[in-house]
Structure 1
Amino acid sequence: MEYLDFELPIKELEDQLDKCQIIGQESDVDVTNTCKQIQKKLDETKKNIYKNLTAWQRVQLSRHPNRPYTLEHITTITKGTFLELFGDRNFKDDKAMIGGLGRIDGQSFMLIGQQKGVNTKMRQFRNFGMANPEGYRKALRLMKMAEKFNIPVVTFIDTPGAYPGLEAEERGQGEAIARNIFEMCRLKVPIICVIVGEGASGGALGIGVGDRVLMMENTWYSVISPESCSSILWKSWEYKEQAADALKLTSADMKKQKLVDDIIPEPLGGAHYDKETTFKTVEQYIMKAYNELKDLSTTDLVAQRMDKYSNMGEYKE
């Protein structure tokens, strides 16, 4: 297990507990009471730390290297029924964007999402979850296929942003994202979006327009990352914590601003502490959202989606 800076007190207590248990196993000394005391202190420390997380600490948790990524979510909740589909039928297959068909609780879904990779080699292969235009065009091709066969769509958002390289701009990165937003607004099947990690900029919006937008507890959703915001406003990354607070990018902030529909709770310490529980919870929230949408007519479904996004940003003076 890897620990973030603010989790070091937890690491120290867990190390103490491990040593105490080893002493008990390797000697005749009764360390039961000592282990119980350390465990009690450990539980209290965890509650105190995770109950009072700052916006920047939640950003750090969303990037935790042990956090489950999109493909792990998909393969687990579909219980091995996921069939991946490839290519945008125009340029090539983008490995940063994955998609395909799978069944959740007996219902077929088109599942689409950004995949970062679990180690250095895989992260390079997946371009760190930063999709090129062909990735967004692949996603749109799969959404249109889902619409043709009346299959609901689920998207998993986890990206630091769309790839900003010259070749991406040459192939129409902005147009690809804008086209996806336009087409998702009027897609004639239910769309459920789940933010499972980072939700940054247009890279997230390119697959982020849905009837229900669900946000996991320790994730963030914003037009810009705290580091980039800090570098623009203060000409330095040193103010990233201040920027994270100002951006109001946490799940609680997003729900308060009515930009997401629901928050998916995570186990104490984050999704990586208990992946099995995390996957079950995500599956339950997806099915709950689908059951709320499945009986709507196509006209009502699209109209409600359009009204939802039209009402965002309204205010009274």
Structure 2
Amino acid sequence: MAAHYLEFERPIAELEAKIEELQRLSETAEGGGMDTEIEALRARAAELRVKAYAKLDPWQKTQVARHPERPHFVDYAAGLIDEFVELRGDRKYADDQALIGGPGRFRGRPVMILGHEKGHDTASRVKHNFGSTRPEGYRKAIRLMDMAENFNLPVISFIDTAGAYPGVGSEERGVAEAIARSTQRCLTLGVPMICVVSGEGGSGGAIAIASGNRVLILEHAIYSVISPEGANSILWRGSRTAEEAAKAMKITAQDLLKMKIVDRIVPEPAGGAHSDPAAMLQTLGDVLDEELDKLSILSADDLRAQRASRFYAIGRSGL
């Protein structure tokens, strides 16, 4: 499958196309006379990638966060969790595949994991509704969190959604109420909860499973109350651009850490999480292990108090 390059990656794409061309020529030539040139071009492409990703602006980070090849929940579940058992349905209406979850073992430790799934191709994106969760998805999340507390399982959530699904059926079945109750359940859990913004964290659809003891964010992920396109449409009546909105909204991991909306930035490989998913899994796994160790010594009351104090403090800088 051909790699998907973003606009700012065009110089890298051109270099890698040249590398592929030289490799094809080298295969037909004798003695590997082009190996030195190919290696030099590879080193140059790697250097360009490091430089490009070291100075991404908010709109470029938005594009990286939405990259179609970026690891999704199913990838993190497969790479980090052993013996994962998906549990389906909200026991009230239906099963929503935009939000997936169930118990498993993380490095030998029993956990409950849940998260948004966008899908990787047309069929899976339709199946998972592009990660836009309906009310039954959030009610499923509540059911999984209830089970986690009953069996004393830490909860790990993965946030990657543009927002909850705003369709008529979703509204009829009470999506706002489902989001509120899911958020409430996060805040009242008596077990550790670690939330990972792995891609695009958008609106209440994100915070419904992101109100934990620790909120981590991948280096090039974004987290916002509304998408840049939505902000441009609603706040500026379409008079500006999504790029301008992204720059004004402070949605990058670095801005969010300064405002204490997130607790920790998880570094991504040079070129983003999609450039080396195995390295991303290893780094994130190490961070999760460390954070779970810190939270595991706290009592249920201490966990609730820490969580409450963390969210009450947002917006009160200087107090």
Same fold by TM-score greater than 0.5: yes
Q: Is the 8 A contact 1:82 1:101 kept in 2?
A: yes
Task: Tell me if 1:178 matches 2:159.
Answer: no
Indicate which of 119, 122, 125 corresponds to 2:121: 119
Indicate which of 197, 206, 209 corresponds to 2:208: 206
- CA distance in structure 2 between the aligned counterparts of 1:4 and 1:229, rounded to whole angstroms: 22
| Residue type at the aligned position of 1:56 | W
Q: Structure 1 residue 36: deviation in Å?
A: 3.5
Indicate which of 40, 50, 56 corresponds to 1:37: 40
Q: Structure 1 residue 125: deviation in Å?
A: 1.2
Where has structure 1 moved over 4 Å in runs of 4 or more? none
- CA distance in structure 1 between the aligned counterparts of 2:43 and 2:303, rounded to whole angstroms: 50
- CA distance in structure 2 between the aligned counterparts of 1:148 and 1:37, rounded to whole angstroms: 57
Shift of the 316–282 alpha-carbon distance from structure 1 to 2, 3 Å rule, reads closer
Task: Tell me the TM-score normalised to structure 1 length.
Answer: 0.96
- CA distance in structure 2 between the aligned counterparts of 1:124 and 1:9, rounded to whole angstroms: 33
- CA distance in structure 1 between the aligned counterparts of 2:239 and 2:41, rounded to whole angstroms: 38
Matching of residues 196-275 of structure 1 within 5 Å? 196-236=198-238, 239-275=241-277
User: Secondary structure at the residue paired with 1:242?
Assistant: helix
1:293 maps to which residue? 295
| Residue type at the aligned position of 1:110 | M
Task: Tell me if 1:66 matches 2:91.
Answer: no
Q: Structure 1 residue 235: deviation in Å?
A: 2.5
User: Secondary structure at the residue paired with 1:84?
Assistant: coil
Q: Structure 1 residue 21: deviation in Å?
A: 2.6
Q: Structure 1 residue 237: deviation in Å?
A: 7.7
Q: Structure 1 residue 100: deviation in Å?
A: 0.3
Q: Is the 8 A contact 1:61 1:270 kept in 2?
A: yes
Task: Tell me if 1:52 matches 2:55.
Answer: yes
Task: Tell me the TM-score normalised to structure 2 length.
Answer: 0.95
Provide Cα deviations, 1:243-288, integer angstroms capped at 9, x if missing partner.
1011100111111111111111111111111111111111111111
1:100 maps to which residue? 102
- CA-based RMSD of the aligned residues comes to 1.4
1:305 maps to which residue? 307
- CA distance in structure 2 between the aligned counterparts of 1:38 and 1:95, rounded to whole angstroms: 43
- CA distance in structure 1 between the aligned counterparts of 2:261 and 2:163, rounded to whole angstroms: 18
Q: Structure 1 residue 86: deviation in Å?
A: 0.9
User: Secondary structure at the residue paired with 2:241?
Assistant: helix
Q: Structure 1 residue 34: deviation in Å?
A: 2.4
- CA distance in structure 1 between the aligned counterparts of 2:297 and 2:40, rounded to whole angstroms: 53
| Residue type at the aligned position of 1:91 | Y
Indicate which of 3, 12, 37 corresponds to 2:5: 3
Provide Cα deviations, 1:14-47, integer angstroms capped at 9, x if missing partner.
1112222332332247223422432332222212
Unaligned runs of 5+ in 1: none
- CA distance in structure 2 between the aligned counterparts of 1:37 and 1:71, rounded to whole angstroms: 36
- CA distance in structure 2 between the aligned counterparts of 1:62 and 1:201, rounded to whole angstroms: 15
| Residue type at the aligned position of 1:216 | L
Shift of the 237–135 alpha-carbon distance from structure 1 to 2, 3 Å rule, reads farther
Q: Is the 8 A contact 1:215 1:264 kept in 2?
A: yes
Q: Is the 8 A contact 2:98 2:129 kept in 1?
A: yes
Task: Tell me if 1:89 matches 2:91.
Answer: yes
- CA distance in structure 1 between the aligned counterparts of 2:25 and 2:45, rounded to whole angstroms: 19
1:110 maps to which residue? 112
| Residue type at the aligned position of 1:2 | H
Provide Cα deviations, 1:281-316, integer angstroms capped at 9, x if missing partner.
111111111000001111111111111111111044
| Residue type at the aligned position of 2:225 | V
- CA distance in structure 1 between the aligned counterparts of 2:149 and 2:112, rounded to whole angstroms: 10
Paired residues, what number? 316
Matching of residues 14-25 of structure 1 within 5 Å? 14-25=16-27
User: Secondary structure at the residue paired with 1:83?
Assistant: coil
Q: Structure 1 residue 238: deviation in Å?
A: 5.3
- CA distance in structure 1 between the aligned counterparts of 2:131 and 2:4, rounded to whole angstroms: 21
Shift of the 315–256 alpha-carbon distance from structure 1 to 2, 3 Å rule, reads closer
Percent pairwise identity: 44
- CA distance in structure 2 between the aligned counterparts of 1:144 and 1:248, rounded to whole angstroms: 34
Q: Structure 1 residue 92: deviation in Å?
A: 0.9
User: Secondary structure at the residue paired with 2:165?
Assistant: coil
2:190 maps to which residue? 188
- CA distance in structure 1 between the aligned counterparts of 2:301 and 2:127, rounded to whole angstroms: 41
